[in-house]
Structure 1
């Protein structure tokens, strides 16, 4: 709820987004002219975010922005992104690859959670008594789920005494991005050869298309004489977010009436799920009787991409360096061990479950489980420049499967605070619950794989 009641003037809002816009332009120029960024396919928004962090108040103090405001923007941009995702057209029936990648994503999230929490408990018990064990839970949130979810859930823990969890969640996400692109591109270069990686189309490496190579990004579903089509889509997203706020506020009042006020911060941290559900319902409603043709997928994709670019930039700029540096050693250790475990498990699963496109599925999923879906698609493009394999579509669609299968994990990770008041025993119980769900999910996945392989014979 903090992100909704943050004191903010209109001037600060405009200046902040103007600064982020200027940094995105600077990131675009750096990607265009600096070979280092081209070599590792570093996204412009990531360059912009680190540039803002460098020029912000905690280092060179050149740019006048506040990290707390950046965190609030991450919170809201996450919901706007999920609203757009809910407006996409979806496949009614998922393929073998989509289901398996969905299972793999949640299994990896659980493994990251188990590993991160185990390491954090060890640090608390044996090395740093004031180190909060919940920091380990931020590993799957920052790596697998991305900066938006890491901040949204982390900042809700402030109500339970963990004041800086949102900022530390952004730190995990930032380290995850570095792993995805630098280590991921190293793996790609080793697989396809550095020369082939260099042979990518210029617009992929430099990020700017030449004149005459401008593909169609969206289509006009309204007459501009009446209203700008983009304005209608922005209005739709805004209306859905207003309904999300209204529903979440109503649920918060019900929790208050039921004497469950302690659960309200957790409820507000899940606003992006409510936003996605409202968005899905809205699309089904407007599509009824064929009336929803005015929702243009291309325009929705452009909006999603825009929100995501600002979200990534703000997530890096929202990192509090003095907080991150205080526990730098355990955080880096958890990230390094978590990244290596993710690498080993994804590699084993890709070659065990699939008989084709193994490296493509491996590198796409590895980058996604340390960065975002965009990271996976960027690295996949090096080995599959035209996306001729089914892997790109599988990565996108499997995220929906993972969201459904991973929802119990989102509920469990808050239990140390909501059920056990932050006691160490509660973290141990949650560790056991995650392990139990991992066993159950792995068993269901094994049966699914065996049944489908038997049907194919």
Structure 2
């Protein structure tokens, strides 16, 4: 593939991002849904891809009659290239299909860079309820999906049992994880799994935002929110995704002088080091597996790079905390690199989504999607009030958004329900991520799920048992923690009342 094609593919992604931003600014529906521009751009790219635009052009070329000369023009041009690559061409589509697997490692490598790592006890104390709830929902997505797969999808639709993992991979993992696991699906012999999981990620993201906004309006009307009322609403500019001039602040901090090195260059280098550390860890684990137990069961051979890149970021941040006396690592700059990578990743993943694979498995896909959404709604409405000790709505809405549409969706919903950060939801959610992310939502468990289900030693029933046990333990800890917190609060109130009376 020529460098010109690679450059053109990247330039087209930039154009799509600008077009998507214009759509967000001008289209009121997109504003009310708080739909990210990358999703809008991905939908536009999918519309003009081979599965839609290509099929339409091919149908028009073959239509009987000249169709006012249009059919003849198309026959003269030749629409084979439209059928293979849509409006953008096969070369561009090939570049886009490779990008998600590369960019997801950049996103995960920067998750903890620039963030001081708190003490373990401090993080657990504040984020314990969020962590218990998050693990309950995440492991429950596997339980719901695998039960549906084993009792309905496998016997009735002849899809593999590993389809039960698509809910967690697509919903919690998101587009990056779904696309990044493409090689894993290929290795276990179910290539359609990538397209179905990317489609599941799209459904989850849209559902998370739409249903989340509905829940916020319901909670505000019912008095379940503590930071906003039923009349609270973002300004027109906020809904359009713009920031008022008087409220604009720096998106990054200049921590090194540009005469020596541009700050963005420095932070890109740090992310590169984190990814390379992850690559070394992965290679070491694969070599250890080959030497010790590969003849019995293989897991690390199927694990992608990105969860280990996140571990590499944690290792690098520990070194930075120890030796960086000048504080040259800026969290906001890292987030800008992550944001660019994630936007490009989502557009390229959606643009190369195979609608044919979804159409061929439409009923199983819909059953999994509806079951996953129903489970997340049940967890939010029934379990969250019984697990969260205070400000349950603000804390749980972030978890609900993440459970359907990755961390960014949770942050968007939390921003809507608590715009001035009056509740402990932000800190609890952030600290919870330090323990949660290495395992679920694209972490080690997500990466190992497909290989474990596919292995004869563990299989779907074994993995279902593991996740059911994990869900039961997390739910028990969450419920008991809430009860202890309420008991401690009641004792403190009685003590205060007794002191006041004396």
TM-score by length of 1: 0.88
C-alpha displacement of 1:155: 3.2
Residue of structure 1 aligned with 2:123, choices 94, 108, 124? 94
C-alpha displacement of 1:360: 1.8
Superposed counterparts of 1:276-291, under 5 Å: 276-291=310-325
Residues 128 and 192 of structure 1, relative CA distance in 2, 3 Å threshold: same
Deviates more, 1:227-236 or 1:84-93: 84-93
Pairing 1:430–2:463 present: yes
Local SS of the residue matching 1:209: coil
C-alpha displacement of 1:248: 2.5
> Are the equivalent residues in 2 in contact too, given 1:180–1:366 (CA < 8 A)?
yes
| Alpha-carbon distance in structure 2 between the residues aligned to 1:74 and 1:442 | 34
Local SS of the residue matching 1:269: coil
Superposed counterparts of 1:121-270, under 5 Å: 121-129=150-158, 131-192=159-220, 199-258=233-292, 260=294, 266-267=300-301, 269-270=303-304
> Are the equivalent residues in 1 in contact too, given 2:252–2:330 (CA < 8 A)?
yes
| Alpha-carbon distance in structure 1 between the residues aligned to 2:363 and 2:459 | 25
Local SS of the residue matching 2:123: coil
Pairing 1:24–2:17 present: yes
Local SS of the residue matching 2:368: helix
**Match in the other structure for 2:8:** 15
C-alpha displacement of 1:136: 1.7
| Alpha-carbon distance in structure 2 between the residues aligned to 1:170 and 1:18 | 23
Superposed counterparts of 1:53-452, under 5 Å: 53-60=46-53, 61-64=86-89, 69-89=95-115, 90-92=117-119, 93-94=122-123, 96-129=125-158, 131-192=159-220, 199-258=233-292, 260=294, 266-267=300-301, 269-291=303-325, 293-404=327-438, 406=440, 409-410=445-446, 411-420=448-457, 426-452=459-485
Residues 222 and 451 of structure 1, relative CA distance in 2, 3 Å threshold: same
Local SS of the residue matching 1:141: helix
| Alpha-carbon distance in structure 2 between the residues aligned to 1:226 and 1:293 | 16
Alpha-carbon deviations, 1:60-88, whole Å to 9, x = none? 12223666643432222221111111213
> Are the equivalent residues in 2 in contact too, given 1:69–1:318 (CA < 8 A)?
no
> Are the equivalent residues in 2 in contact too, given 1:38–1:205 (CA < 8 A)?
yes
> Are the equivalent residues in 2 in contact too, given 1:39–1:198 (CA < 8 A)?
no
| Alpha-carbon distance in structure 2 between the residues aligned to 1:81 and 1:262 | 33
Deviates more, 1:302-311 or 1:354-363: 354-363
> Are the equivalent residues in 1 in contact too, given 2:175–2:198 (CA < 8 A)?
yes
> Are the equivalent residues in 1 in contact too, given 2:96–2:352 (CA < 8 A)?
yes
| Alpha-carbon distance in structure 2 between the residues aligned to 1:408 and 1:209 | 37
| Alpha-carbon distance in structure 2 between the residues aligned to 1:221 and 1:332 | 49
Alpha-carbon deviations, 1:371-390, whole Å to 9, x = none? 01111121222222222222
Local SS of the residue matching 1:293: coil
Pairing 1:34–2:52 present: no
Give me the CA root mean square deviation: 2.7
Deviates more, 1:204-213 or 1:221-230: 204-213
C-alpha displacement of 1:334: 1.3
What 5-or-longer segments of structure 1 have no aligned partner? 1-7
Residues 292 and 146 of structure 1, relative CA distance in 2, 3 Å threshold: farther
> Are the equivalent residues in 2 in contact too, given 1:413–1:430 (CA < 8 A)?
no
| Alpha-carbon distance in structure 2 between the residues aligned to 1:430 and 1:357 | 34
| Alpha-carbon distance in structure 2 between the residues aligned to 1:197 and 1:355 | 26
| Alpha-carbon distance in structure 1 between the residues aligned to 2:292 and 2:185 | 21
Local SS of the residue matching 1:372: helix
**Match in the other structure for 1:3:** none
> Are the equivalent residues in 2 in contact too, given 1:172–1:335 (CA < 8 A)?
yes
Name the count of aligned residue pairs: 445
What 5-or-longer segments of structure 2 have no aligned partner? 54-85, 222-227, 492-502
Local SS of the residue matching 1:291: coil
Local SS of the residue matching 1:436: helix
Alpha-carbon deviations, 1:162-193, whole Å to 9, x = none? 12222221111111011111222222233336
Alpha-carbon deviations, 1:239-275, whole Å to 9, x = none? 3323333443344344445572897774453422221
Local SS of the residue matching 2:111: helix
| Alpha-carbon distance in structure 2 between the residues aligned to 1:75 and 1:304 | 14
C-alpha displacement of 1:339: 0.2
| Alpha-carbon distance in structure 2 between the residues aligned to 1:275 and 1:81 | 9
Deviates more, 1:275-284 or 1:391-400: 391-400
| Alpha-carbon distance in structure 1 between the residues aligned to 2:229 and 2:93 | 41
Residues 244 and 381 of structure 1, relative CA distance in 2, 3 Å threshold: closer
